[in-house]
Amino acid sequence: MSENQLKGYFAFDDSDLIANRAGRLSPKQNKKITSNDQFAQRFILGLVVVCIALALFFMYRVFVDSTNVGSWIGAVLAMFFTTLFGRGLFNKVDYSVQKAQGEVQFVKVEKLSGSPTDPTYKRKKVESYEMHVGGESFSNANPALIEYMQGDVYAVYYTKTTRQILSVEYISKGK
């Protein structure tokens, strides 16, 4: 696969690759990750505000009529979801740049959809590919890359927590 094809597929440029080699994000990558993170934080904050409003509404209903079981259940559920979503506001994501280098192997992964508690007849077999490089695996790999990358040695730069591929560098032909 040519260098330009790699850049196009993984959406990076020379300045990104140079920054990633130095173990940091490029300004463009930092801006993209920051804007995605801000969107997620705002979305979670919106969910928390809605849950607080629902909790207050149900607590008011409990105050007016303490015998109403539905209001009690609604208040407890709203407080539970407020706590659950609120935890997401305080999760810090490590976006430090990591490097995996080695021979690229694509592995077909088969999983059953749905929950393990669902009846077997409701679950379907779902196939996807993982890209393995230097002891690291990256899910949802594009099978179109198999023909170009399989068996060759690459360096893959990615974020630590989200495992988002930032840039890819061809090193050598495989054995």
- Residue ranges per structural domain of the chain: 32-90, 95-172
Half-sphere exposure of residue 161, counting CA atoms within 13 Å on the CB side?
8
* Contact of 56 with 80, CB cutoff 8 Å: no
45 contacts 91 by C-beta, under 8 angstroms = no
Kindly state the DSSP code that residue 74 receives in the 8-state scheme.
Answer: H
Q: What percent of the chain has pLDDT over 70?
A: 98
Q: What is the pLDDT of residue 52?
A: 94
The pLDDT score that the predictor gives to residue 99 is 95
User: What's the CA gap between 146 and 157, in Å, rounded?
Assistant: 19
User: Which of the pair, 86 or 167, is modelled with greater confidence?
Assistant: 167
Lowest mean pLDDT among 7-16, 106-115, 161-170: 106-115
How does pLDDT run across 56-113, given as a tens digit for each residue? 999 999 888 888 888 899 999 999 999 888 887 777 788 899 999 999 999 988 888 8
Average pLDDT over residues 17-26: 94
pLDDT at 53: 95
pLDDT band at 168 (very low <50, low <70, confident <90, very high): very high
| CA dist 104 → 61, 116, 120, 139, 151 (Å) | 60, 31, 34, 13, 5
| pLDDT tens column, 112-131 | 888 888 887 788 888 888 89
Q: How far is Cα 106 from Cα 103, in angstroms, rounded to an integer?
A: 10
| Confidence grade of residue 1 (pLDDT, cut at 50, 70, 90) | low
Return the CATH fold of 95-172.
OB fold (Dihydrolipoamide Acetyltransferase, E2P) (2.40.50)
pLDDT, the chain, mean? 88
pLDDT value at 24 more than 70? yes
pTM across the whole model: 0.70
Percent of the chain, pLDDT > 90? 42
Tokens of 161: 């927590």
21: number of CA atoms within 13 Å, CB side?
A: 12
Secondary structure of 10-73 as H, E, C letters:
HCCCHHHHHHHHCCCCCHHHHHHHHHHHHHHHHHHHHHHHHHHHHHHHHHHHHHHCCCCHHHHH
Angstrom distance (rounded) from CA 52 to CA 70: 17
